[in-house]
Amino acid sequence: LLAVMYVTVSPVSTHFSEYLERVEGRHKALMAIKSAMGFGSAIHNFKNYVLRGQDKYRGGAQDNVREAAEAIEDYRLVGELTTAEVNALADIQGVISAYESNIAVVSRMLSEGATPAQIDAVVKVDDAPALAGMAVLASHVEKLNQEYETALLGRISNLLAEVVVTIVVAFLVVCVFGWLIYQSVIGSLERVNLAMQEFSANGGVGNRLEGDDKTEAGRLAVAFNAFIERVQKIVDMTISSSNGLAA
């Protein structure tokens, strides 16, 4: 039963592991890309660096660019990427590279005394490819999630059916063995009971039961036979004594 349960559960476990690796891995990496590239992160820090020229915004933008690049690499490491995913990641990487190179441009222009308006005119970055790329990735992750969810539910349903069948079969097997054991024990006891009844009613000492020392019922039959043997000897002795007195 345990072996059958393992065989049925193992595919479900494997499928769930694949789900965690392929779908959850993509989802986590995508969320990290969005977090690093969002308007509260890289874009926000870059714009503030252009407008205010403060080092904290430059450092924040550089950190966000690095985090986004690492998240893209994490997504690639999931493996088995489609062409659409590869192209989307390349588009996002292109926007990140543009921000990274423009941070250096902003630093140089600030050191030269350029105004925010002058800097902004030079370092404009088109975010559209990155936004479109993240939309492509999100759509693919959602599609994969639905496919794995449907397949996993199907496997779980099959597992439940197999478990029920296994339990029913195991129950029937136990019942059959139990019935056979019951019949063996009860049958032996019934034979002993009938022999005792016959002995009680007719005093017959010629009955013997088949039995051995391997089972309780067998040992009971052996004990009954020994009892009958002793009774037989007593009867024989009594008859012999009676015949001797009569003579």
Cα angle 193, 197, 200 (rounded to 5 degrees) comes to: 135
Distance CA 138, CA 195 (A): 84
In this prediction, residue 168 carries a pLDDT of 77
In this prediction, residue 154 carries a pLDDT of 67
Cα angle 64, 65, 68 (rounded to 5 degrees) comes to: 85
In this prediction, residue 37 carries a pLDDT of 86
In this prediction, residue 167 carries a pLDDT of 77
Tell how far CA 222 is from the center of its chain: 55
In this prediction, residue 165 carries a pLDDT of 72
In this prediction, residue 210 carries a pLDDT of 65
In this prediction, residue 107 carries a pLDDT of 94
Residue with tokens 């140089």: 108
In this prediction, residue 31 carries a pLDDT of 93
Through-space distance between the first and last CA atoms of the chain, rounded to whole angstroms: 75
- Spans in the chain with pLDDT lower than 70: 1-20, 39, 151-163, 182-189, 191-218, 220-221, 224-225, 231-232, 235-236, 238-239, 241-247
In this prediction, residue 183 carries a pLDDT of 66
